Amino acid sequence: MTRVALLPAGPDPFLLAYWFRNYRRVWAQEVDELHVLVCGQSDPAAKRYIKEQAGSAYVEFYPIRLDHGMALALLMATTTAEYVVFLEDDAYVRRTGEIAARFHRLEAVLDVIG
């Protein structure tokens, strides 16, 4: 059973760098993969920086800003994982174990957590 985290993101490389640091420090070990779709970033240096900050995450760039639903649909197309968590680039998981606990509930008894 594969667990994936999907992040539709805006173009701000510094916001993303902070998000990736939080991810690595707090909950990276709770998912098998992280897929990120960065929308609206075209600067080559900024794209390189984002990729460097992302580490082993799968990062794709889309040339223009997308509506949230379209970005999530494109991200869903990047994975075959059985379990998915949708994330936001302006929201942070603050406690280790929280993502794992939600996945455990999904795997054990639920279909969806909102």
Per-residue pLDDT at 36: 98
Neighbours of 89 (CB within 10 A): 17
Q: Are 59 and 89 in contact (CB under 8 A)?
A: no
Q: 3-state SS string over the chain?
A: CCEEEEEEECCCHHHHHHHHHHHHHHHHHHCCEEEEEEECCCCHHHHHHHHHHHCCCEEEEECCCCCHHHHHHHHHCCCCCCEEEECCCCCCCCCCCHHHHHHHHHHHCCCCCC
Q: What is the pLDDT of residues 35-87, one digit of tens each?
A: 999 999 999 999 999 999 999 999 999 999 999 999 999 999 999 999 999 99
Q: Rounded to the nearest 5°, which phi and psi values hold at 38?
A: -95, 120
